[in-house]
Structure 1
Amino acid sequence: MAAPLPPGSTIGVLGGGQLGRMLSQAASRLGFNVVILDPEENSPAGRVSQGQVVAAYDDATALTVLGKVAQVVTFEFENVPASSIERLAEAGALVAPGPRALAVAQDRVEEKTFLNSVGATTVDFAPVDSLDDLLAGLEQLGTPALLKTRRDGYDGKGQVWIRSAEMAADAWSAIGEKPAILEARAAFIRELSVICARGRDGAVAVYPLGENIHSGGVLKTTLAPAKVDAATETRAREIATAILNGLDYVGVLGVELFDLGNGKLLVNEIAPRVHNTGHWTQDGCVCDQFEQHIRAIAGWPLGPTEAHARVEMTNLLGDEVEQWRTLAAEADVRLHLYGKAEARPGRKMAHVNRVRVL
């Protein structure tokens, strides 16, 4: 991209869920047109966009069409087939973030190997391709240890804790005997996350840290800016910058961190996209993570990341969304509904930001 995309350009988004919806809304505020590609007809993102291509993410014709109408294509989830990215490139579209970031994020062994190579330390780990590998890994790392599939899996899915070697066979069976990674347990105080961005010119912007609280493997609440000391804040910024530059990244990236105390942080995982733990920025910052992502991929200057309010972000799962009447009446609450038709148990239906003056 030789110059910033002007307003009126078209941005393509792979994925029609809530993240795609909020990306589309941010892009529209900046004057861009948005076209969604998603297999679900009338998707949440499609309903707030200029148009939607209803097709599978690996549909060759649909990708060719999207690549021709969009000047840049991004995605709301990281499990996009590599062949889809190649097809878009052949059609002449830029894709951001690029294929390197996707390849790293799609394989947990590759991810941890890369992170350690740029000085973003993780827990100790071992690749697992068989029950014998798993037993050897348990001997190396000890118990308890966490077994995860190398690919896919989210919100606690595709993983199981192993508390003794006798559990190995059952754990291996529980994840479907798929290629996996075994991770040592981290003795952390709390989980933090940092949302960061890198522009096409290499500029880096980092938001204040958030503190995350999970329930049943699913993020429930993020408190931001997190109450951290200067050493922790500095280390998080160093980690974010190293990852962004190491991937030659363009766009917003989420980095999940284990806080061990005294400024020591381990990286849990990265997400090459806008992130649930960054939703607080919608009401806590002048430029939220969604606008920041659009700015980055379009070649615009990155926006400010300073917090002007303290925010408690809470996900509404399943039928919790029925609380919308009560929540809408609370003066300090900003309600963000995703437009999903069916409130299945555990499904992310909305989030609320409770705003406090700093």
Structure 2
Amino acid sequence: MILPGQTIGMVGGGQLGRMFAIAATQMGYQVVVFCETEQEPAAQIAHHCVFGRLNNMDAVEAFATQCDVITLEFENIPAATIAKCQEYAPTYPSSDVLATAQDRLREKTTLQNAGLPVAPFVKVVDAESLAEAAKVVGLPLILKTARSGYDGKGQHRITTLADASDVDWTLCDEWVAEQLIAFDREVSVMVARTADGRTSTFPIFENDHVNHILDVTMIPATLSDTVRQQASEIAITAAEALDVVGLLCVEMFVISSEGGEQVLINEVAPRPHNSGHLTIEACHTSQFEQHVRAVCGLPLGNTEMVCGGAAMANLLGDVWGDETQTPPWDDALAVDGVKLHLYGKVHAKPGRKMGHLTCVGENRDAVVEKVREARRRLTPSS
């Protein structure tokens, strides 16, 4: 057990590392961040920083020797980096978990072998194998790179086999052809798991996406009690199958069938997740505090909601328009109950996550409208 006063290492200096560091600091931990520059969001607030590239083993060693436990904010980290960290301190998630999370084929196969519901998929390497895969999963289908890719990057919708001519096959040696799922809604389940196997899930998040990027998250999700229980059990089983210590976000499709609604796993992420940001205000324990508790071996916190409904709206760089402009934050914050979280990123670029707005209240639909209205007041064209 790593108690307050000891040092937690965070690999990654982005907004997830920043919000983790805030939670850890509030609990009395020292936080050292490993990232490339002092301008990164987490570096701005950490107690200590070690700067270097992920493949700089001297820098990794200098970082790891300062830590009592190490965690991370993103999964695309070289295995050698995490292996080096593990030489000096317990590191969660482990290099084995990362190896699975970095490879969609390995990830989906692991989940499928655990008896969990995933969309039918086939390994693809070129246009010829794509044609064979289409015979199995049908058309249209979704083609994804087996490695890397997020927020819709590295993905293609294949409606006819002629669409294969638009694919840059040099991006990845292996691809995944997935059956295109006609879903009603997208939800995500955040589960925390400790090294000794204790688990806890948050209320299920309902998510709206725009251009493959999360736009608005709301709770409670509009699910029956049966489906809600099913989704939570699937997330816990996924965390156990992958042997995750820390947090695991399981993104799912809600689909209708003759027997009623059911859920199907889309993707997983072994870290805090964008959809969980609203837990900072909406739950007794935020996802970031729970992450601290999980990797440090502490009792897991109460994840129940403190309100009837909550919502979060992402703020992308588009809100800034011209980078020289300052958005009218006062106009947005004039919407009753809305709170602002900015990540401290230096450059606002279209599509880049720069912050988020949250609101809690007794009525979910009302707080969703409030965060949307607050964001509309920030948009240059509105």
- Please indicate the TM-score interval, normalised by the length of the shorter structure: over 0.9
Q: Residue 241 of structure 1 aligns with which residue?
A: 236
- Superposed CA RMSD in Å reads 1.4
Task: Give, in whole Å, the separation in 1 of the partners of 2:169 and 2:187.
Answer: 29
Structure 1 residue 111 and structure 2 residue 107: aligned?
Answer: yes
Q: Residue 63 of structure 1 aligns with which residue?
A: 60
* CA shift digits 1:48-67 (9 cap, x unpaired): 11011110012101111111
Describe the SS at the equivalent of 2:129: helix
* 8 Å CA contact retained: 2:146, 2:172: no
Correspondence for 1:302 among 286, 291, 300: 300
| CA apart distance, 1:228 | 1.1
* 8 Å CA contact retained: 1:188, 1:258: yes
Structure 1 residue 16 and structure 2 residue 44: aligned?
Answer: no
Task: Give, in whole Å, the separation in 1 of the partners of 2:318 and 2:184.
Answer: 31
* CA shift digits 1:150-172 (9 cap, x unpaired): 1111111111100011222323x
Correspondence for 2:36 among 35, 39, 44: 39
Closer, same or farther: CA 42–228 of 1 in aligned 2, 3 Å:
same
TM-score (norm 1): 0.95
Q: Residue 339 of structure 1 aligns with which residue?
A: 344
Q: Residue 292 of structure 1 aligns with which residue?
A: 290
| CA apart distance, 1:331 | 2.3
* Counterpart residue identity of residue 204, structure 1: T
Task: Give, in whole Å, the separation in 1 of the partners of 2:181 and 2:25.
Answer: 42
Describe the SS at the equivalent of 1:214: strand
Q: Residue 199 of structure 1 aligns with which residue?
A: 194
* Counterpart residue identity of residue 17, structure 2: G
* 8 Å CA contact retained: 2:131, 2:161: yes
* CA shift digits 1:287-319 (9 cap, x unpaired): 000000000001110001111121111000014
Correspondence for 2:268 among 267, 270, 277: 270
* 8 Å CA contact retained: 2:126, 2:169: no
Closer, same or farther: CA 344–174 of 1 in aligned 2, 3 Å:
farther
Moved more, 174-183 or 216-225: 174-183
Task: Give, in whole Å, the separation in 2 of the partners of 1:257 and 1:6.
Answer: 34
Describe the SS at the equivalent of 1:290: helix
* CA shift digits 1:78-128 (9 cap, x unpaired): 1011000111122x1110112222111100011110111112211100111
Task: Give, in whole Å, the separation in 1 of the partners of 2:275 and 2:170.
Answer: 26
Structure 1 unaligned spans of 5+: none
Task: Give, in whole Å, the separation in 2 of the partners of 1:19 and 1:291.
Answer: 12
Q: Residue 48 of structure 1 aligns with which residue?
A: 45
| CA apart distance, 1:174 | 6.6
Describe the SS at the equivalent of 1:49: coil
Task: Give, in whole Å, the separation in 1 of the partners of 2:284 and 2:294.
Answer: 16
Task: Give, in whole Å, the separation in 2 of the partners of 1:153 and 1:23.
Answer: 23
* Counterpart residue identity of residue 353, structure 1: T
Task: Give, in whole Å, the separation in 1 of the partners of 2:328 and 2:153.
Answer: 27
Task: Give, in whole Å, the separation in 2 of the partners of 1:111 and 1:201.
Answer: 22
Structure 1 residue 313 and structure 2 residue 312: aligned?
Answer: yes
Task: Give, in whole Å, the separation in 1 of the partners of 2:115 and 2:35.
Answer: 36
* 8 Å CA contact retained: 1:231, 1:263: no
Q: Residue 351 of structure 1 aligns with which residue?
A: 356
| CA apart distance, 1:323 | 4.2
Task: Give, in whole Å, the separation in 2 of the partners of 1:200 and 1:317.
Answer: 35
Correspondence for 1:255 among 242, 250, 256: 250
Q: Residue 153 of structure 1 aligns with which residue?
A: 149
Structure 1 residue 169 and structure 2 residue 165: aligned?
Answer: yes
| CA apart distance, 1:175 | 6.7
Structure 2 unaligned spans of 5+: 321-326, 364-382
Closer, same or farther: CA 175–234 of 1 in aligned 2, 3 Å:
farther
Describe the SS at the equivalent of 1:265: strand
* Counterpart residue identity of residue 264, structure 1: Q
Task: Give, in whole Å, the separation in 1 of the partners of 2:106 and 2:212.
Answer: 23
Structure 1 residue 213 and structure 2 residue 176: aligned?
Answer: no
Task: Give, in whole Å, the separation in 2 of the partners of 1:138 and 1:170.
Answer: 16
Structure 1 residue 87 and structure 2 residue 84: aligned?
Answer: yes
Q: Residue 139 of structure 1 aligns with which residue?
A: 135
* 8 Å CA contact retained: 1:96, 1:250: yes
Task: Give, in whole Å, the separation in 2 of the partners of 1:186 and 1:49.
Answer: 42
Describe the SS at the equivalent of 1:138: helix
* Counterpart residue identity of residue 13, structure 1: M
Q: Residue 380 of structure 2 aligns with which residue?
A: none
Q: Residue 222 of structure 2 aligns with which residue?
A: 227
Task: Give, in whole Å, the separation in 2 of the partners of 1:216 and 1:40.
Answer: 29
* 8 Å CA contact retained: 1:252, 1:296: yes
Task: Give, in whole Å, the separation in 1 of the partners of 2:98 and 2:146.
Answer: 14
| CA apart distance, 1:177 | 5.6
Describe the SS at the equivalent of 2:295: helix
TM-score (norm 2): 0.90
* CA shift digits 1:11-58 (9 cap, x unpaired): 111110100000000000110011111113331101111011110012
